[in-house]
Amino acid sequence: GAVVSQHPSRVICKSGTSVKIECRSLDFQATTMFWYRQFPKKSLMLMATSNEGSKATYEQGVEKDKFLINHASLTLSTLTVTSAHPEDSSFYICSANPLAGGYNEQFFGPGTRLTVL
Amino acid sequence: AQKVTQAQTEISVVEKEDVTLDCVYETRDTTYYLFWYKQPPSGELVFLIRRNSFDEQNEISGRYSWNFQKSTSSFNFTITASQVVDSAVYFCALSEAWATNAGKSTFGDGTTLTVKP
C-alpha cells in the first residue's frame, strides 16, 4: 500500500519557537494533502487542505498565520507552527490523496507529537 | 455539514467476547465514503475498511465484520471473539467524494475499546 511519512515523529520545543513538520508521500504523487490535529483522548480535527501549487484552505477557527502550510511539490507538504505556545501541543497527522486511484483513497502519516514547554 | 457520531465513548469486554462499535453519520451528499480506523497507543492510524455509499453489502474480514445500513445512516463494526490486541481507540470517519473535497474526512469522537484477559 501507499506510504506517507512524517518528520519529525516527536518534537519538544520552547515556547516562542517555530516548528516545521514535513509530510511526504513516498511512493505516489498527491495534489492534495490534509492536516489534522488530535488532542489527547480526542478526535481528529481537520485543520486545513493543502493543495500543490496553490494556497491552503483552512477550516473555520484555524489561524492561518499560526499554522503555515506549504505544498511545494507533489510529494511534500509542510506545516509550520509559528511562535508555538503550550496550547499548540498536540498530535498532528497528515494524509495524502494519490493523483490516481479515485476519491476514496486517503493514506495517513504516522503523526508528529508536538510538545511546547 | 457532515457529522459522525460514535455514541460509545468506552467499552470494556473480556477476551473472547463479541463487541459491536456503533457509528451513525449525517451527510447531504449522495456519494460518500465511510471508513473505520484503529488507533493503538502508538498513535498511528491503521486503516480497517472503506465502504462507498452505493455498496451496502456487509463485509467480513477474519474476526471483523461491518454492517452498513443506509436507511438508518449507520456503519457498525463488530469484532468477534475479541483479543487483548484489539484494545485501541476506533474511529469511524466519513469522507466527501467530490473532486474538490476528495479525501476530506470527518471523524467521530472515537470509541476506546479495552479487552481484558
Average pLDDT over residues B70-89: 96
Which residues from chain B sit within 8 angstroms of residue A44, using beta carbons? Answer: 91, 105, 107
Model confidence pLDDT, tens digit, residues B5-40: 999 999 999 999 999 999 999 999 888 899 999 999
Which residues from chain A sit within 8 angstroms of residue B104, using beta carbons? Answer: 34, 46, 49
Average pLDDT over residues B63-88: 96
- Of A55 and B100, more confident: A55
From B50, B99, B110, residue closest to A104, measured CB to CB:
B50
CB contact under 8 A, B102 and A111: no
pLDDT at A98: 78
Are B96 and B4 in contact, with CB atoms under 8 Å apart?
no
C-alpha cell at A23: 509530510
pLDDT tens digit at each of 117 positions of chain A = 679 999 999 999 999 999 999 999 998 888 889 999 998 888 999 999 988 888 899 999 999 999 999 988 889 999 999 999 999 999 999 998 876 555 556 789 999 999 999
